[in-house]
Amino acid sequence: MAESITYQLEKIADISKAEVLHEKLESYLNDGVNIAIDASQVERIDTSVIQVLLSLFSSMEKQHLQAAIHAPSEPFLKAASMLGVSDFLRIKH
């Protein structure tokens, strides 16, 4: 069974944080670790970070690993819903 780790998204999850987020999550992916994304503190999120998460979920699925969004904040839920990606990210609004 793969190891699991929880990653806390920052309050402001925007394009200025997307590259670092991608690098960190990719390192977990390369280590074969299941990832739980804690989105409870997110106050603002933009499309670039959502794209990083979509890419992560797709890559994790291909490697038979698990990714999940935990405790998404209202702004996170609203952004995912507006972009039509709630189902892909397996979050309920």
Q: Where are the domains of the chain?
A: 4-83
Position 92 scores a pLDDT of 66
- Rounded to two decimals, the pTM is 0.91
Position 1 scores a pLDDT of 59
Q: Tokens for 40, please give them.
A: 């409870």
Distances (CA, A) of 41 to 4, 19, 33, 67, 72: 20, 19, 23, 18, 8
Position 28 scores a pLDDT of 93
Q: Which CATH class is domain 4-83?
A: alpha beta
Q: Alpha helices of the chain — where are they, by DSSP H?
A: 15-30, 47-62, 74-83
- Tens of each residue's pLDDT in the chain, 93 residues: 579 999 999 999 999 999 999 999 999 999 999 999 999 999 999 999 999 999 999 999 999 999 999 999 999 999 999 999 999 999 865
